[in-house]
């Protein structure tokens, strides 16, 4: 018997609608603002993401460089070839991401979303 069911991954940020739009452009779905401080993104095959306004938000540091430690990150399947990952990289950079580690180490590349949260584009062997 379970104690509870998974509901959402909640991401604190200064602008919930903008950050939800960033992730919607990557994984699909349409952001739904429940109020000015809370936006939900639901897309097929993706856990529900919720974005919570935090006016004093300080982005995490990756790698940790004295500031806020990384609290979590999202791993996104960008395909099984480096060509697919290259195309995904071009897309996320065009949406406002910035590179943190783009060397093809361990089949992933690390970026920061527009609010500063780290996320990875991963090369996943599909079989």
Q: pLDDT digits over 94-114, tens only?
A: 999 999 876 656 788 889 999
Q: pLDDT digits over 1-45, tens only?
A: 776 678 889 999 999 999 999 999 999 999 999 999 999 999 998
User: 61 vs 12, 22, 110, CA distance in Å?
Assistant: 15, 20, 12
What are residue 35's phi and psi, to 5 degrees?
-165, -175
Query: What domains appear along the chain, each with residue ranges and CATH number?
Result: 1-55 (3.10.180.10), 71-127 (3.30.720)
Q: Which helix (H) or strand (E) holds 120?
A: strand 118-122
């Amino acid at each position: 018997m379970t104690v509870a069911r998974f509901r959402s991954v909640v991401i604190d940020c200064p602008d919930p609608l903008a950050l939800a739009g960033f992730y919607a452009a990557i994984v699909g779905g349409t952001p739904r603002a429940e109020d000015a401080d809370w936006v939900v993104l639901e897309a097929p095959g993706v856990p529900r993401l919720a974005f919570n306004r935090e006016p004093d938000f300080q982005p995490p540091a990756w790698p940790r460089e004295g500031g806020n430690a990384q609290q979590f990150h999202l791993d996104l399947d960008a395909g099984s070839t480096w060509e697919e990952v290259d195309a995904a990289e071009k897309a996320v950079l065009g949406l406002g991401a910035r590179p943190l580690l783009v060397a093809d180490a361990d089949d992933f590349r690390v970026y920061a979303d527009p609010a500063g949260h780290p996320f990875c584009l991963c090369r996943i062997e599909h079989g």
